Structure 1
């Protein structure tokens, strides 16, 4: 190439590392990168494809969803500190959700009188110059650094991605000033095999014996997990382990399919469960594996006599200032590797088959009782739609080639309970609390595997947080159609539930004033129609639901996004809002 710059080498390094897409929101700090991309396109040189994202939240959420489906980190390009800050909650999601991604941001030029190519020539270069741009995100990144020269930029990119892909995985952040990114440099060729992520960690062999012995003594063992399903092979090992020993599985705040719901050992889900889970209180041995919050001890916890073992790539949770569980041992280990070790040891261990078969029968009965309760909740509602009925209807259109992205909040536990997913990788959550992940993640998932049908579930609040005007524009421009179903109760139900959880008899409850009602109501699906040409439809009656789902699914499979705005019972207006509304009407 005629002009080989730091930007050219940076983009080459991403290509060599297997990055397919640059989810980009370009700014005044990216002329060198834009020039390098344009030059490569002119010369037919292969570099990662640019996905223009009109909002940074969508860009990082799309990279998040792509990595969850493909396992491969992508790059997100934003501008200086403003673009970095506009990533917002998506940074939290990538960090807490253990998702590998490389974020690059420019910095304001460091010369102002034309001393170097790229010197300051716009007023914004002074306004956007801050003392510690990297510090904005340092608490949410596995690694951050500044590119200071093109001579070693490839090494920096490969090191950053090596860190991002090593467990526990996570985001990394690089910055570079305009002058540095414009600098002409010499091409460097690297052996990418020398930059592989670290090998998965295992349990120390001497610690397997005590674990097996405590398990053999147990009458009521239990497994609790949340995100083991991020590794499909780990699911296979967990099924093998639980089937052999007849151990029930409880999924706590899941954000993957961790254990097949149709396995008789699957015993349900818990989220912000207000009461005590009976299996948890009865358990005398608990394996908590890949779970940040295996239970909420305020109201729902194991007995004091339970023997607990904890396995996670990050068992100390050093990024969580307050976190502890009463575990006998904490193992820093990869779930798949640890379960393989345990299963290998169990194959050589004498076990009480009679006790195990008795336990298997009891758990199967428990599982069937749960299913009967689920079916009862899913019955056709005569008046208003219910989350359970809607979810059961969605379940009917899910097939082997469907991925569900799920950001329901007040219906979170219901979503996993009534979707009943059985295939690893079939359902994804953000793994965190930054609302608005759903739309970008759904587009990213579709780009990662175009053969899949993506069904995106979101509450009305999460839908608005997702920046739908940007999501559906991106989906149309890059041929990534998704089906979104909005669970619309015309307000933020979760803050109301949180308030009642702390102040059940408080003034807010007395006056029914929670400040969460979305009045006047927006026609949410029409945003997607206007921005991205999506099929838009509002569903208000139970008899419309199944037909609308089928019609929307046909639309999506033909290449057009669809949004169904499903009206659930609304959050009640408080008496003051009612009086004001009546006064306005008069």
Structure 2
């Protein structure tokens, strides 16, 4: 090996470490020789600790969702390496999830070399480099990223990485995308040039979180204080785990129930008397929302569906959000009299402080609301328990989730559930009833398969936690399970996957019935959503990742099967348990 060689790639990897990246999840290609060489040299020199750890993922969607899962569990940006425009397109669905879920992820993709006659190190020498040269590679992702840029010279690569991370982490957070041609990533430079004072990380800190202005605080606080039936609606306040107890304090001070609408995070403890339930695509009105006279929307993209289950016409609505105008959603509106941009935890604490001022609240009215909420909560729990009773003939989602909840209750230490069960999202929320901030995570968006890589990232972030994914069979296949389970085995990050296997896509059928309840598809039960003949889905995990693989068809077998699967994962081996539900289409 020649003398130490400091290049753009070296400086790039150092910069990732500087911004807090612990892992680079990678699908390497012909555009990455500079990075491959930088890692190899650092390992040979014994200095590789100055770079993030490289995690090889044999599919880009797994790599990206692993980075997203780690960032969701820790709040810290992680990085992904993908191969030119082909790898970029393979992350498309997962990029959507991070963008819509406001999760910071830094993506670096190489670009086809910009010379073809050997003018520079890295010049074109493979046929594919002409085929993969496109007009606007960055444009592929521009609708989903907060920032995109090309590394054009070696000297300012750290400045570019520091700025990209600053933008990604500033609220509303989200993914960023960098590209660099092979020749640029191979350029040599002096380390002092890469570490100029102007490029220092402390000059690229994320934007500080915002508080409610005093006039805005007063307007919202006075409306809540004067309400007879206040309700709080949230979807992703739990992105900040410290905001959850702040919301609990506000709800208790006010005596207001909290509704979680399409939650992708645990926003409010499910066992709290003021938990007002969950709202997804249900066609009927939520009774608490329908009766509310003041509604505080505290971090939500879809607090209700206007044509289905919004609040009453006379309700006063106030929106507080890190992203109050949803500028990336072309068609969006809430009938609110006030929109405010603020950190959700700070806003909740401010409102609690305002309401604690003497004379702000009618204490008797608050006690009355608290008692009514507790009574309603007990009634709701009895209804849910009744749904969990086993059917002797078929496995129901409710019974399966009750068995899982009972088993997780016996686990010492932290458990984190990843939910991507689509038409059973509501059942997962209602029947697992998670209570600890950070204990329930969703993708944040609508592209399926996030769970598979996310389980890897979450387990790397929380190595002592039991990580459990609850998914549908369609979602399971979208996750590229062979790639994900192989990666999990290689890096020693086992998890449990529970498949609600109804042998098809339930969601398109539900959507079709919603628009055409009496149509030809409904009459003939002809929706084109069945997966017949059924596949042995867990066997994929056994073949690729050495996982425990089991399919259960009888309700009586479920408790023991769930127990075995949990114990297997706790012993250090992944497990995939499929439960056969009634088929979506006979």
**Which category describes the TM-score, using the shorter chain as reference length?**
over 0.9
Give 1:233's aligned residue: 242
Give 1:489's aligned residue: 502
Q: CA deviation at 1:192?
A: 2.6
> Per-residue displacement from partner, 1:397-455 (whole Å, max 9, x unpaired)?
22441000110011110100000111100010011101110111111100111010101
Q: CA deviation at 1:345?
A: 1.4
Written as runs of structure 1 = structure 2, the 5 A alignment for 1:283-298 is 283-298=292-307
1:88 aligns with 2:92: yes
Give 1:374's aligned residue: 384
1:403 aligns with 2:412: no
Q: CA deviation at 1:349?
A: 4.2
Report if the CA contact (8 A) 1:488-1:565 is conserved: yes
In 2 relative to 1, CA 196–397 (structure 1 residues): closer, same or farther, beyond 3 Å? farther
TM-score of the aligned structures, taking structure 1 as reference length: 0.97
Name the SS for the 1:129 alignment partner. Answer: coil
Q: CA deviation at 1:193?
A: 2.7
In 2, Cα distance between equivalents of 1:19 and 1:563 = 30
- Equivalent of residue 260 in structure 1, options 245, 258, 269: 269
Give 2:53's aligned residue: 49
Give 1:465's aligned residue: 478
Written as runs of structure 1 = structure 2, the 5 A alignment for 1:61-80 is 61-80=65-84
Please identify, of 346-355 and 241-250, the stretch whose mean Cα deviation from structure 2 is larger.
Answer: 346-355
- Equivalent of residue 544 in structure 2, options 504, 520, 531: 531
Report if the CA contact (8 A) 2:216-2:340 is conserved: no
Please identify, of 349-358 and 309-318, the stretch whose mean Cα deviation from structure 2 is larger.
Answer: 349-358
Name the SS for the 2:103 alignment partner. Answer: coil
Give 2:517's aligned residue: 504
1:435 aligns with 2:448: yes
Q: CA deviation at 1:267?
A: 1.3
Give 1:418's aligned residue: 431
1:147 aligns with 2:151: yes
Give 2:251's aligned residue: 242
Name the SS for the 2:221 alignment partner. Answer: helix
Report if the CA contact (8 A) 1:100-1:170 is conserved: yes
Give 2:577's aligned residue: 564
Give 1:101's aligned residue: 105
- Equivalent of residue 178 in structure 1, options 179, 182, 201: 182
- What RMSD, in angstroms, separates the aligned Cα atoms of the two structures? 0.9
Give 1:551's aligned residue: 564
In 2, Cα distance between equivalents of 1:217 and 1:246 = 12
> Per-residue displacement from partner, 1:201-258 (whole Å, max 9, x unpaired)?
1111111112121112211000000111111111111000110110001110001111
Give 1:356's aligned residue: 366
Give 1:137's aligned residue: 141
> Per-residue displacement from partner, 1:64-99 (whole Å, max 9, x unpaired)?
110011111111000110010011200100100100
> Per-residue displacement from partner, 1:469-497 (whole Å, max 9, x unpaired)?
10100000000000000000000011001
Q: CA deviation at 1:53?
A: 0.6
Report if the CA contact (8 A) 2:509-2:529 is conserved: yes
Q: CA deviation at 1:362?
A: 1.2
Structure 1 unmatched ranges of 5 or more? 574-586
In 2, Cα distance between equivalents of 1:68 and 1:401 = 16
Give 2:230's aligned residue: 221
- Equivalent of residue 212 in structure 2, options 189, 203, 214: 203
Report if the CA contact (8 A) 1:267-1:370 is conserved: no
Q: CA deviation at 1:466?
A: 0.3
> Per-residue displacement from partner, 1:263-313 (whole Å, max 9, x unpaired)?
111111010011111111100000011100000011111111101100111
Report if the CA contact (8 A) 1:62-1:441 is conserved: yes
- Equivalent of residue 394 in structure 2, options 375, 384, 399: 384
Give 1:584's aligned residue: none
Give 2:461's aligned residue: 448
Report if the CA contact (8 A) 1:53-1:470 is conserved: yes
> Per-residue displacement from partner, 1:488-524 (whole Å, max 9, x unpaired)?
0000011001100110000000111000000111100
Report if the CA contact (8 A) 2:107-2:177 is conserved: yes
Q: CA deviation at 1:194?
A: 2.6
In 2, Cα distance between equivalents of 1:349 and 1:183 = 66
Name the SS for the 2:266 alignment partner. Answer: coil
Report if the CA contact (8 A) 1:108-1:178 is conserved: yes
Please identify, of 405-414 and 185-194, the stretch whose mean Cα deviation from structure 2 is larger.
Answer: 185-194
> Per-residue displacement from partner, 1:530-575 (whole Å, max 9, x unpaired)?
01111100111111111011111111111110000111111233xx
In 1, Cα distance between equivalents of 2:452 and 2:219 = 46
1:193 aligns with 2:202: yes
Written as runs of structure 1 = structure 2, the 5 A alignment for 1:14-53 is 14-45=16-47, 46=49, 47-53=51-57
Give 2:330's aligned residue: 321
In 2, Cα distance between equivalents of 1:100 and 1:51 = 18
Q: CA deviation at 1:195?
A: 2.2
In 2, Cα distance between equivalents of 1:254 and 1:241 = 19
TM-score of the aligned structures, taking structure 2 as reference length: 0.97
Report if the CA contact (8 A) 1:255-1:430 is conserved: yes
Give 1:582's aligned residue: none
1:312 aligns with 2:314: no
In 2, Cα distance between equivalents of 1:278 and 1:509 = 30
1:115 aligns with 2:124: no
Structure 2 unmatched ranges of 5 or more? none
